[in-house]
A and B are shown apart, each in its own frame.
Chain A
Amino acid sequence: MAFSFPAFSYIIALILDAFLIFFSIFHVIAFDELKTDYKNPIDQCNSLNPLVLPEYLLHLFINVLFLLSGEWFSLLINIPLILYHLHRYYTRPVMSGPGLYDPTSIMNADVLTVCQREGWIKLAFYLLSFFLYLYGSVITPATLE
């Protein structure tokens, strides 16, 4: 077989990470729209909230793969973000549906700033990890052979 399981993990991670990058770009754009009055916060929250759990789950899935394949370094890098996600979801406002964003509090300047900053930081993180995974997917098979 051409690929070992770690290599397979990296390739899957690479693909999923691309999705995560799109998610965070969407996130950044969405909050920018809020800030510039283009969108109604209710609509915006309705479109953002369904994406929160999928993003977290994708990220978690990548790390499960790393765990199973024993890629400790990549796992270690991602653990802080997993913890952050857990914390974030645990302390979300009271709401009946899935998601994080409450249209009544999202327009608060502090919340808006935090969310936007979070979007940029995550985007940077996903971009960096994209190259890491790319590197991993190239290196790992080589070391096996």
Chain B
Amino acid sequence: MSNLPPNPYNNFPGPPHQVNANAVHQTFNHNQQYGQVPQSQLPPGFGGLKQDPNSNSPAHGPASVPQNNVLQNVNNYNQSASSSPAFNQPGMTSLPQGPQMSPMRPPMSVAPNSVPNPLPPAHSVSQPSASPRALPKANPSPTPYNPSYHPPHQINDNAPPLIPSSQMSQPLLNGPLQSQYGPPSSQYPVSSSAYSSPPGGKPPVSGYGQGLPPISKPSGPASLPSQPNVPFSSAPLAGPPRNSPLIPGPPVSGPPTGMQNFSGPLPGPPRQAGMNGPNVSGPQVRPDPVMGLKPVTSAPMGPPGGPPMGPGGAPPVQGFPGQYNNGPSGQPIGPAIGNMGPPSMFSGPQNPPIGSQMPPMGPQSLPPMGQQSLPPMGHQMGPPPGPIIPAGGPPKSNMQNRYPQMAPAPGNYVNNQPPQAPQGNMKQYPQQYSAQGVTQQMGQLSVTKQGFDQLWGHHMVDLLQCKHILPEYPEDPPEIKLCHQFADASNCSPEIFRSTINRIPETNSLLQKSRLPLGILIHPFKDLNNLPVIQCATIVRCRACRTYINPFVYFVDAKRWKCNLCYRVNDLPEEFQYDPVSKSYGDPSRRPEIKSATIEFIAPGEYMLRPPQPAVYLFLFDVSQLARESGYLQVACDTLKANLDSLPGDARTQIGFICYDAHVHYYLMGEGLTRPKEMTVLDIDDVFLPSPESLLVNLSERRELVRELLCVLPARFAGVAANAPACALGAALQAAYKLMAPTGGRITVFQTCLPNVGPGALQPREDPNARSSKDVAHLNPATDFYKRLALDCSGAQISVDLFLLNSQYADLASLSGMSKFSAGTVYHIPLFRATRAWQADQLCRMFTRYLTRKIGFEAVMRVRCTRGITIHTFHGNFFVRSTDLLSLPNVSPDAGFGMQLSIEESLSDLQQVCFQAALLYTSSKGERRIRVHTLALPTASNLTDVLHSADQQCIIGLLSKMAVDRCMTASMGEAREAVMNVAVDALSAFRLSQNLPAGAMSSSLHAPMSLRLLPLYLLALLKKKAFRTGTSTRLDDRVADMCALKLAPLPQLLRAAYPDLYPLHALHDYLPRDEPGEDQEGSDAPDPPRLQLTAERINMNGAYLLDDGESMIMYVCQGVSPAFLSETFGVTAHSQLADELRALPRLPTPTNTLLHAFLDKLNDDRPYPADLLILRDNSPSRTLFTERLIEDRVESAFSYFEFLQHVKNQVK
């Protein structure tokens, strides 16, 4: 019956895909109609398959009968086989025994049999194509589900219930197929006849061995067809599969002719659905599914023809679910199954598991199908498998298809793919197999186990063997696979919300076993391009825990929803059923709150304790002796003047200035004044404010006065005679606090020296001789003056930002307190001299970004977690006001936060864990807004899953923050030790979970793919300024680096820890090759691969760019070609380059233009452009570059290999 629905689809799909296979497939198409068999066949020749499906559905459906006969036969066979194959993984479970056996044999005896394996891959491929459509569904499903579930899915599919969305997507593809189906019923008879004809194929069946037996099982008619089919498919299929399992695509060409016919319809889709998903065209898959399903059933049904169709339809459905959502996946599976069946038959040898599955399929195909079809549950199951497949499937296409939702995810996969690619086929096969089969096989065959591991995404790497471990292009964060129910719910972008472990351990003891830090990183106020903003009278929140309604809530019925954090059932206000977009009433799930995990509300009155504050900016300038020498004031005033009009704010914006040296200077710009008036207060121990009302003035009303002040200010102090250096920062801050306390706002402090008079005076503590000693002292503040001041400011909604432009020790450890606890930021430019143009330029860029970026005032951020999880520690700049509430007087788009989590209760009865960060702030326009981010993560119940779902980048982000804390509370030595132990612990846990030999006992050091970069990043962290020992590091630089680690969002932090190194001498080799249409921006910018940071990668004939976010160093080696030099730098010889060049000349040469385009592209993704430094490899300051080659040994610090050895010896 389900088939009928597909018919509509048939109409749609036919055309596109059909084209491909058309010629060959037409005949096959018939097959398709009959069953997915063709698909199964198709799998071998994927390429062909994809096309086939299309062609099948459309053209052939009705007319191709003649061809169909043959094809049908094939199909029938295929179906039997395919059903097994497709289901193999899932459905096959029922047939486990057969499959297992077969798997073994196939490899042994029949090479051709291997074809089935290829088929599976093909299926996977097809899945990808399907996946796009199915993607949403696919996302959630974990690999584990796949095997067992697929069958159910198929069933479901039959049911038709399959997810409409998936079906929809498929429909086009299916459309043709269905049309075929439509006819198929009529055709079935034909097919049956076809079957009969195929019987001849029986011999082949024997060849298939296991696969055949299943066939025999089916009813007489069925068995016959299946056998004949087998022969057909087997030959073609085997060819391709064996050749290259991975290659399913390529094989297609080879075996294609025969295979294509078969696969054309079936294989393409099924396979895609299964493994490759993405590659295969969506349409094909769908048709296949439909076809496949029916055929599958039909196969068993063989004789009945008509009846089989019904069942068959169901099976296909199952297939789809597995892959994607139920709907689509079921269909694909169906076809896939069909395909699989035949393939397995053929390929038997190739994939033992498949083969085994296949055989079972053949014989059992009917029974399984029936069973599968029966259980509606299948749908649910289906989705999970689908996801699983993607996970397992290394291929990019799969990932993408499956996870279309997650834009980044595809990238990740892609990255991973390279390493996995070789195994891709293997992975795919395992995935296809049923879970049961998998487990059984695992015990028997290590190869099988490997395949399965890959399937599930459980790859591991021997770190000691893998020299080039860094992916050439940045990896995307691992995708999050939620349960089917929320498979297509949009999760929060990993750029905003990221967890160190993407599957939360169910219990604390499991977390302890994994020995990974559990935490989340949030970048809540990130600049976003597409942020849904809604304004409504009542914001829907849980009455118990005040959680905002989000995409992961459960709707009990149309009037009630169940909170996903505390599980209370709440009423839904009437108006929530009104869709503001379509302006109609209906399903609450259409609301933007439910559609987007990141949303912004414009808050009504009850979210305000007082009227929204205006934007108030106060600038504190140090004008002491050292400050005048540095000359920063001119730069700062010029920059401020230039950006006065772009300060965020409205008509109420206020601005004020205070200067301080030994005294505090105020500038009155009140009414009646035509020029700014300076007042100096000599008493710094008990500050008072002269006429406060004219110190902070309305910017729009007094713009001219402000401009004038900014013009005269630098000159005002330039002429002051040198006197004893004295700086009364503390007094100035107290004055600023008094001035700002009634309104709140932002204080910007420019400081150049150690404050040494008045309140908050500090003593120089640093011992310059101990800069490279092992233990670093004085990381903690010398006084709590600045901290208390910050707390006062925080209470008054004032935030303090510090620009430290010191040329000597300024005790940043103490000063940073003013920013740390008031949610400010510390900017540090050591040894600043305005006469150095590049430093002035750097300050100008930094300050411009600071002035013009978005700002949120009087903000609070609350982070809520699912019951059972609590926040242990917060990291970042803020004041913690209660266990889950951060007070952020100002919030900036450049601030990130980290949270360590602890698991207090078992989560084993939960399917997923949610985190919600709600940031309530006042925009610079005086609007109260709430930005809500919601992240949902699945849970994991075993150690392997936990370790394989770790997010190494996020772990580094959290660890760096934890290490900074450890430095403060314990010592640098302990912090370093703790960082090193993270690698040891994580790899020990992995060793335990895999029963690998102990580190010292084996010659290899295994790490899961998900943690393979962990040691590298940890080493980079240890060599960072903040944590390095043995290298002379100024205390202030070290502390500034620590502040940056605490605050920086993850991408910046990672780049600072492990800078990107690009080869510049061959940029033109990395020009984007694709049509510009695809990349919206910078289609002309080259995209060179990253290199590992080791001198091995530095070629004497090259030029390199090292980018750590804050600065870029261009390193030009001696042997670089003169042509490159003249085109890039306009010099003819290497020696003509200056020792330190601070800017890249603009020349009208392609090389130069290309390089500029590349630099611009790199600068696009950071708050402000980085500095550029061009060094020759014989410049005196070349160490600036070479010290960043962190994989090499530096005195007193490990090289990467030594570090691995160290870790290996410690791993227990």
Q: Considering the chains assembled together, what is the distance between the CA atoms of A104 and B876 in angstroms?
A: 12
Q: Considering the chains assembled together, what is the distance between the CA atoms of A94 and B780 in angstroms?
A: 8
Partner of A104, one of B795, B879, B882: B879
A109–B791 CB distance below 8 A = no
A107 — which chain B residues lie within 8 A by C-beta? 874, 880-883
Is B1133's CB within 8 Å of the partner chain A?
no
A40–B783 CB distance below 8 A = no
Partner of B783, one of A96, A102, A103, A108: A96
B879 — which chain A residues lie within 8 A by C-beta? 103-104
Is A37's CB within 8 Å of the partner chain B?
yes
Is A110's CB within 8 Å of the partner chain B?
yes
Is A41's CB within 8 Å of the partner chain B?
yes
Q: Interface residues of B toward A: which range?
A: 20 to 34
The answer to whether residues A94 and B783 also contact, given A35-B883, A107-B882 and a CB cut-off of 8 A, is yes
A94–B781 CB distance below 8 A = yes
B791 — which chain A residues lie within 8 A by C-beta? 42, 103-104
Is A95's CB within 8 Å of the partner chain B?
yes
Q: Considering the chains assembled together, what is the distance between the CA atoms of A109 and B885 in angstroms?
A: 13
Contact with B along A81-112 (1 / 0, CB 8 A): 00000000000011110000011100111100
Is B440's CB within 8 Å of the partner chain A?
no
Q: Considering the chains assembled together, what is the distance between the CA atoms of A108 and B784 in angstroms?
A: 18
Shortest CB–CB separation between residue B224 and chain A, in angstroms? 70
A109–B873 CB distance below 8 A = yes
Q: Considering the chains assembled together, what is the distance between the CA atoms of A35 and B883 in angstroms?
A: 6
> Which parts of B767-792 form the interface with A (CB within 8 Å)?
780-785, 787-788, 791
Please report the total number of A residues contacting B with Cβ < 8 Å.
17
B785 — which chain A residues lie within 8 A by C-beta? 96
Contact with A along B264-306 (1 / 0, CB 8 A): 0000000000000000000000000000000000000000000
Query: How would you classify the secondary structure of chain A's contact residues: helix, strand, loop or mixed?
Result: loop
Q: Considering the chains assembled together, what is the distance between the CA atoms of A35 and B880 in angstroms?
A: 12
B885–A110 CB distance below 8 A = no
Q: Considering the chains assembled together, what is the distance between the CA atoms of A40 and B783 in angstroms?
A: 23
Shortest CB–CB separation between residue B1025 and chain A, in angstroms? 24
B780 — which chain A residues lie within 8 A by C-beta? 94
A94 — which chain B residues lie within 8 A by C-beta? 780-784
Partner of B872, one of A37, A96, A109: A109
Shortest CB–CB separation between residue B1162 and chain A, in angstroms? 37
Is B165's CB within 8 Å of the partner chain A?
no
A40–B881 CB distance below 8 A = yes
Is B821's CB within 8 Å of the partner chain A?
yes
> Which parts of B456-501 form the interface with A (CB within 8 Å)?
none
> Which parts of A1-59 form the interface with B (CB within 8 Å)?
34-35, 37, 40-42
Q: Considering the chains assembled together, what is the distance between the CA atoms of A31 and B828 in angstroms?
A: 38
Is B902's CB within 8 Å of the partner chain A?
yes
Is B761's CB within 8 Å of the partner chain A?
no
Shortest CB–CB separation between residue B74 and chain A, in angstroms? 65
B870 — which chain A residues lie within 8 A by C-beta? 109
Shortest CB–CB separation between residue B577 and chain A, in angstroms? 33
B882 — which chain A residues lie within 8 A by C-beta? 34, 37, 40-41, 107
A96–B885 CB distance below 8 A = no
Interface centre among A41, A96, A107, A108 (most CB of B within 10 A): A107
**Smallest CB-CB separation from A36: which chain B residue?**
B883
Shortest CB–CB separation between residue A32 and chain B, in angstroms? 12
The answer to whether residues A95 and B871 also contact, given A42-B791, A104-B879, A109-B902 and a CB cut-off of 8 A, is no
**Smallest CB-CB separation from A106: which chain B residue?**
B880
Shortest CB–CB separation between residue A31 and chain B, in angstroms? 12
Q: Considering the chains assembled together, what is the distance between the CA atoms of A8 and B791 in angstroms?
A: 47
Shortest CB–CB separation between residue A101 and chain B, in angstroms? 12
Q: Considering the chains assembled together, what is the distance between the CA atoms of A142 and B174 in angstroms?
A: 102
B884 — which chain A residues lie within 8 A by C-beta? 37
Q: Considering the chains assembled together, what is the distance between the CA atoms of A107 and B884 in angstroms?
A: 9
**Smallest CB-CB separation from B872: which chain A residue?**
A109
Partner of A109, one of B782, B784, B788, B871: B871
The answer to whether residues A104 and B883 also contact, given A94-B781, A94-B782 and a CB cut-off of 8 A, is no
A110 — which chain B residues lie within 8 A by C-beta? 872-873
A37–B873 CB distance below 8 A = no
Q: Considering the chains assembled together, what is the distance between the CA atoms of A41 and B795 in angstroms?
A: 12
A41–B902 CB distance below 8 A = no
B871 — which chain A residues lie within 8 A by C-beta? 109
B784–A95 CB distance below 8 A = yes
> Which parts of B89-104 form the interface with A (CB within 8 Å)?
none
Q: Considering the chains assembled together, what is the distance between the CA atoms of A110 and B784 in angstroms?
A: 22
Q: Considering the chains assembled together, what is the distance between the CA atoms of A11 and B884 in angstroms?
A: 46
A41–B783 CB distance below 8 A = no
B883–A37 CB distance below 8 A = yes
A102 — which chain B residues lie within 8 A by C-beta? 784
B885–A37 CB distance below 8 A = yes
B873–A96 CB distance below 8 A = no
Q: Considering the chains assembled together, what is the distance between the CA atoms of A108 and B788 in angstroms?
A: 18
Interface centre among A34, A42, A104 (most CB of B within 10 A): A104
A96 — which chain B residues lie within 8 A by C-beta? 783-785, 788
Q: Considering the chains assembled together, what is the distance between the CA atoms of A40 and B887 in angstroms?
A: 11
**Smallest CB-CB separation from B782: which chain A residue?**
A94
> Which parts of B845-903 form the interface with A (CB within 8 Å)?
870-874, 879-885, 902
Shortest CB–CB separation between residue B504 and chain A, in angstroms? 17
Contact with A along B173-214 (1 / 0, CB 8 A): 000000000000000000000000000000000000000000
A42 — which chain B residues lie within 8 A by C-beta? 791, 795
Q: Considering the chains assembled together, what is the distance between the CA atoms of A96 and B788 in angstroms?
A: 9
> Which parts of B1135-1194 form the interface with A (CB within 8 Å)?
none
Contact with A along B682-711 (1 / 0, CB 8 A): 000000000000000000000000000000
Q: Considering the chains assembled together, what is the distance between the CA atoms of A110 and B870 in angstroms?
A: 12
B788 — which chain A residues lie within 8 A by C-beta? 96
Shortest CB–CB separation between residue B887 and chain A, in angstroms? 9
Shortest CB–CB separation between residue B574 and chain A, in angstroms? 32
B795 — which chain A residues lie within 8 A by C-beta? 42
Q: Considering the chains assembled together, what is the distance between the CA atoms of A107 and B1015 in angstroms?
A: 32
Interface centre among B783, B873, B874, B902 (most CB of A within 10 A): B873
Q: Considering the chains assembled together, what is the distance between the CA atoms of A107 and B883 in angstroms?
A: 6
A108 — which chain B residues lie within 8 A by C-beta? 872-873, 880
Q: Considering the chains assembled together, what is the distance between the CA atoms of A94 and B784 in angstroms?
A: 6
> Which parts of B899-940 form the interface with A (CB within 8 Å)?
902
B883 — which chain A residues lie within 8 A by C-beta? 34-35, 37, 107, 109
Q: Considering the chains assembled together, what is the distance between the CA atoms of A37 and B881 in angstroms?
A: 8
Interface centre among A37, A93, A102, A109 (most CB of B within 10 A): A109
Q: Considering the chains assembled together, what is the distance between the CA atoms of A127 and B79 in angstroms?
A: 80
A109 — which chain B residues lie within 8 A by C-beta? 870-873, 883, 902
B880 — which chain A residues lie within 8 A by C-beta? 41, 104, 107-108
Q: Considering the chains assembled together, what is the distance between the CA atoms of A91 and B766 in angstroms?
A: 21
B902–A104 CB distance below 8 A = no
Shortest CB–CB separation between residue A103 and chain B, in angstroms? 6
B874 — which chain A residues lie within 8 A by C-beta? 107
Interface centre among B871, B881, B902 (most CB of A within 10 A): B881
Q: Considering the chains assembled together, what is the distance between the CA atoms of A104 and B878 in angstroms?
A: 9
A104–B787 CB distance below 8 A = yes
Shortest CB–CB separation between residue B1041 and chain A, in angstroms? 21
Q: Considering the chains assembled together, what is the distance between the CA atoms of A42 and B794 in angstroms?
A: 11
A37 — which chain B residues lie within 8 A by C-beta? 882-885
24 contacts between A and B (CB under 8 A): A34-B882, A37-B882, A37-B883, A40-B881, A40-B882, A41-B882, A42-B795, A93-B784, A94-B780, A94-B782, A94-B783, A95-B784, A96-B785, A96-B788, A102-B784, A103-B879, A107-B874, A107-B882, A108-B872, A108-B880, A109-B870, A109-B872, A109-B873, A110-B873
Q: Interface on B for A, CB 8 Å cutoff?
A: 780-785, 787-788, 791, 795, 821, 870-874, 879-885, 902
8 closest residue pairs by CB, A with B:
A107-B880, A37-B882, A109-B872, A95-B784, A94-B784, A108-B873, A96-B784, A104-B821
Apart from A37-B885, A41-B882, A96-B783: 8 A-B pairs, beta carbons within 8 A:
A42-B795, A94-B781, A94-B783, A96-B784, A104-B879, A107-B880, A107-B883, A109-B902
